[in-house]
Amino acid sequence: MLFRNLIALGALWMLLGQTGVAQEQKSPPPTTERPVATPVRPKASPTPTEPPITFNSVHVDGPYIALTFDDGPSATLTPKLLDLLAARHLKATFFVVGQNAADHPDILRRAVKEGHEIANHSWSHPNLGKMSDEAVRRELQKTDDAIAAAIGKRPTLLRPPYGSITARQKKWIHDEFGYRIIIWDVDPLDWKRPGPSVVTARILKETVPGSIVLSHDIHPPTIEAMPATFDQLMKKGFKSVTVTELLAMETPRPPKPTPSPAVPHATAIPSPSPVSSPPPPTATPGG
């Protein structure tokens, strides 16, 4: 009896073992999940920045400035100014009115021969910002032609009379003529004729490295102011170059320092001060 029970138990054990094996074989193998790659988006290329067209001053490494003179040439005053510049080995830029340039091409040729630069200041000194494109074009083209006829090459700089010009005008003038627009950061208001000493004092006070200094070579007091102005600028270490040379010296402006976060200060607990006796009363004057 015991023997039969053992045989039956063994048979049952074998049956259970086979069933487990069959279930293991029928169960699907575990699947390995593949990670989905995140698509890499291409970085947007930086938008190229257009070079500047307009200049009031230039950031430079060194004591360089540009002396500029408008509205000439004058038959009598500009040669005197050229003499003063030559005696000191200084360079300047002359923004000439086309009518005057056409009348005195010999002065323009002398200026270029002595290392100075000639630039466009319109034909008749109008307010360009209030004119039609065609009228502005005529003003600039006639002056451009007069300068080219006098010195054999065309100017690359424009100073609009009164500094008056619109942003849209700057763009098409630059595209059409290739001009860079030159304004200024030092203006002694010499056209008001405040006196030579005032002109000199204003220029000396406002001029810094990279400055573009405005004056006019058609006013006698301005020419009278220039010997002292030149000498004092040179004494300060300034070196005058043409505007085009100054633009070529431009260096990037250093980034502004980022302010550090303010650190809260611990509130100091004042220590008790010693009690002092009040001072003796003093007599009131006039009492």
Beta bridge partners of 212: 66
In a domain, 44, yes or no: no
pTM here is 0.74
**195 assigned to some structural domain:** yes
Tell me the β-bridge partners of 213: 67, 186
Q: What is the pLDDT of residue 272?
A: 42
Determine the pLDDT at residue 274: 41
From 116, 121, 216, 219, active-site residue: 216
Q: Is residue 101 part of a domain?
A: yes
* 17 located within any domain: no
Q: How far apart are CA 190 and CA 187, in angstroms?
A: 8
Taking Cα atoms as reference points, which of 221, 222, 184 lies closest to residue 206? 184
- State how many domains the chain has: 1
Model pLDDT, residue 4? 52
The candidate with the shortest Cα–Cα distance to 143, out of 127, 162, 119, 160, is 119
- pLDDT score for 39: 46
In the residue annotation, 71 being an active-site residue is answered as no
Where the chain has pLDDT below 50, the residues are: 1-3, 6-7, 16, 19-42, 44-47, 266-287
Number of H helices, E strands in the chain: 9, 8
Instruction: Say if 21 falls within a structural domain.
Output: no
| pLDDT at residue 42 in the model | 46
| CATH code, domain with 234 | 3.20.20.370
- Residue-number span of the structural domain to which 108 is assigned: 54-248
How many C-beta atoms surround the C-beta of residue 90 within 10 A? 20
pLDDT at 258: 73
Give the whole-angstrom CA distance, residue 84 versus residue 147.
23
281: in domain? no
Give the model's pLDDT for residue 128.
98
104 is known as an active-site residue = no
pLDDT for the residue numbered 51: 81
Residue 106 lies in a domain: yes
Question: Residue 2: inside a domain, yes or no?
Answer: no
Residue 233, CA atoms < 13 Å, CB-side half-sphere: 31
